[in-house]
Chains A and B, each alone.
Chain A
Amino acid sequence: MKRSKSVYLFLAPALVMVVVFLLFPMVYTLSVSFTRWDGLSPPKFNGLENYIDLFRSRAFLVSLKNTFIWVIFTLLLPVGLGLLIAWGVSNIKLAGLFKAVFYIPLTLSAVTTGLIWVWMYGPQLGVLNNLFRALHLDFLAHSWLTEVPLNTYSMIFAWTWRTTGSNMIMFLIGLQALPKEPIEASQLDGFSKWQTFIYVMLPMLRSMTTVVVAMALINSFNIFDIIYVMTSGGPYRSSETLAVTMYRESFVLFHMGYGAAVAVVLSIMVLLVSAFYVREMTKREITY
């Protein structure tokens, strides 16, 4: 009797913190999204008006498009490269040396990464343009962060630089855990290393790939810091993603109801992706 009550004492501190600081605000944001609110005067209920306005607003549609560009390219670049590099590194000598280089950006924050790459991309004194000029490749010099749509891709590259290393580590963990027999058998059957990788190792790597892809997807929907530091979504709101649009609408323009609606749309997209992740997780729970 005493035991069963004390169990809740163990659970309570964590539960209370999560409910007060995370779950309650989440529900509150949902309710704010159905109101018109400047953050000061009392909010006025306006039904679905914010959501209708969203899809009529050019800034929102540009932001939505950019968000999808980010999502697609973070799957192609940091995840795809991470996988290829992990496979490449696992096939050669001196792997530790090659791997270590990809660890470096993992120690830096997104803000620091942004600051470094703002300077790399600088039009006058920036590293890239000066490098291209020194190599007599002047036509490659660009105003990387103000030309549209180049600015979004420039930032995606900076993000790739920062995150490829952690995907590489995840895939290396996955590759190490693969059973040796099928791989050796396929090589005895005359498969090249590359064929073995595509036809034998990739299918066995599926569960790790699912996890890495899902985490990269969720993270890419939420990217905020690096864009805020590098372009703040500019010029003229051309490089915003939903996370940045939400911040700008709520805390720069004080359209809190509208900002909340952006947050809800973003959440719905993240939830759809998470559903796959949760399913994969619960599947594993059962096979325990």
Chain B
Amino acid sequence: MRFNKYFLYALLIIFNLVWILPIWPTILVACKTNIDFTRQAFWQLPTRMAFWENAVEAWTTAQLGIYFINSLLYGLAGSLGAILFSSLAGFALARLRLKGSYWWFLLIWSGTIFPFQMYVIPLFKFYNMWGLYDTRIGMILFYMAICIPFCVFIFRNYFITISFPIQEAATLDGCSSFGIYWRIFMPQAKPAIAVLILFQFTWIWNDLLFGMILTRSPLARPIMVGLARLQGFRAGTGTNVPALMAGAVLGSLPTILLFVGLLRYFIEGLRLSGAGE
């Protein structure tokens, strides 16, 4: 019995070490000069702190700075826009007497089932036709759309749980449907909104596929496309790994900060999306 307990601890410690293994050398490498990187073993400390130069190299020469701002814009506008539209729809589906509301819900929700590969060819074609290709507004519109089905799912399930008497009392007091939505339901949905901002911002920030297909120039390209292209970013003989890793660290900062700040909501979000409660 006791042996089991020690065995369990040992196993968990091994797993923890394996999980930490990539993190420490990545941070070290981001702080090394190219010379240190090629001459030193990966566990040695850099002879001088070069994170700042590496970061500047990635930020300006590789234009990561512009991509960073693009993605910040997409993440904020896309997730907030999706939350606004979805909360309206979720409210209608859950609380307003709507014919066939379950079917409308399924129609919207079906947008989460199909693989993204089903969307890319027509989007590429029609974005070119509509003048949305390689524009920021085109990217924001698409990111909004792709976030909507999941947001509607969460809002509908959330609004169902709010008790009916409140809504009835407000209706009797002459409050319009929009007033009920805005003054009663939205303030109560704050935890759900926090979860959705976290999830959808992170999703948009991390997207590679649609960024590659719908943009071409730095003015519209999102951060992950920039990072993926950094891999082919040459300095002398091969990829400039220290600059690449400094870029990867910078490119992960927003999601790391969001995650640390909203860890409670992150777990709540997994519960909502998994348990469908």
Residues of A within 8 A of B (CB): 3-4, 6-8, 10-11, 13-15, 17-18, 20-26, 28-30, 32, 39, 81, 85, 88-89, 91-92, 98, 101-112, 114-120, 125, 127, 130-131, 134, 161, 166, 169-170, 173, 192-194, 208, 211-212, 215, 221-222, 224-225, 228-229, 242-243, 246-247, 250-251, 256, 259-260, 262-264, 266-267, 270-271, 274, 281, 284
- CB neighbours (8 Å) of A170 from chain B are 270, 274
For chain B, residues 93 to 121, give those with C-beta under 8 angstroms from any C-beta of chain A: 93, 96-98, 104, 107-108, 110-111, 113-121
Query: How distant is the Cα of A32 from the Cα of B117 in the complex, in angstroms?
Result: 13
Q: Say which residue of A30, A109, A243, A281 sits within 8 Å of B205 (CB atoms).
A: A109
Indicate whether B193 reaches chain A with its CB closer than 8 angstroms: no
Indicate whether B186 reaches chain A with its CB closer than 8 angstroms: no
Interchain CB contact under 8 A, B209 and A274 = no
Interchain CB contact under 8 A, B209 and A225 = yes
Give the A-B pair count, Cβ closer than 8 A.
Answer: 253
**Shortest Cβ distance from residue A155 to the other chain B in the assembled complex, whole angstroms:** 14
- CB neighbours (8 Å) of B121 from chain A are 25, 28-29, 32, 250, 256, 259-260, 263
Interchain CB contact under 8 A, A98 and B16 = yes
Q: Say which residue of A20, A110, A131, A251 sits within 8 Å of B213 (CB atoms).
A: A251
Indicate whether B217 reaches chain A with its CB closer than 8 angstroms: no
Query: How distant is the Cα of A260 from the Cα of B124 in the complex, in angstroms?
Result: 13
Q: With CB as the reference atom, state the residue of chain B lying closest to A126.
A: B42
Indicate whether B208 reaches chain A with its CB closer than 8 angstroms: yes
Interchain CB contact under 8 A, B41 and A270 = no
Residues of B within 8 A of A (CB): 1, 4-5, 8-9, 11-12, 15-16, 18-23, 25-26, 29, 37-38, 41-42, 85-86, 88-89, 91-93, 96-98, 104, 107-108, 110-111, 113-126, 141-142, 144-146, 148-149, 152, 177-178, 181, 205-206, 208-209, 212-213, 224, 227-228, 230-231, 241, 244-245, 248, 251-252, 255-256, 259-260, 263, 266-267, 270-271, 274-276
- CB neighbours (8 Å) of A212 from chain B are 274
